[in-house]
Structure 1
Amino acid sequence: MQDQNHPFFRPLWRRIVLVAFCAAWSVFEFATGSPFWGTLAGGMAALGAWQFLIAYKPGSDAAADKE
């Protein structure tokens, strides 16, 4: 997740779906008895939530896309 300002991540719904998918994957892994993979997916969800929802700053040309 080096390029969080990639144009693909501009719409909020895509960022939310990405984080929700990782969180759901984590729950699935814990439910099936795989704590290692559940922890790994949970970490991905936490990192994604931080990068794409909390600390996300849209690029300078994002304002031009709204017009």
Structure 2
Amino acid sequence: MQLIDPNHPAYRRLWVRIAIVAVCFGWATVEIIGGDPFWAVISAGAGAYAYYMLFWSFNPQPEVAEPAAVPDADDDEEPAVPAADKPSKDGQVD
């Protein structure tokens, strides 16, 4: 079971990955100072797991481009042409 999906687009930025790990280890420090070792170990474990997933085994996949929309073949409308490129009545382009 994977708790952190390293291929999620939210983790592409380095500062986001650093912030997640720093908050986990920072909270572990707060719990140690507060005298609660149980929650300190839990927070440090979350930080270690986040570090492993977001830095050690992080291998971002390239983004897949969306295919361009293909117009319908039965579309009877003419494509938009700028007014400067439209031929005049005598067939000349202005």
User: What residue number does 2:32 align with?
Assistant: 30
Gaps of 5+ in 1: none
What TM-score do the two structures reach when normalised by structure 2?
Answer: 0.62
User: Bigger radius of gyration, 1 or 2?
Assistant: 2
What does 1:36-51 correspond to in 2, within 5 Å?
Answer: 36-51=38-53
Between the two structures, name the one with larger relative contact order (CA 8 Å, sep ≥ 6): 1
| Runs of 4+, deviation exceeding 6 Å | none
Gaps of 5+ in 2: 66-94
CA distance in 1, matches of 2:7, 2:45: 20
CA distance in 1, matches of 2:52, 2:4: 13
What does 1:1-67 correspond to in 2, within 5 Å?
Answer: 1-61=3-63
Q: How far apart are residue 59 of structure 1 and its match?
A: 1.4
Identity in percent: 35
**How many aligned positions are there?**
63
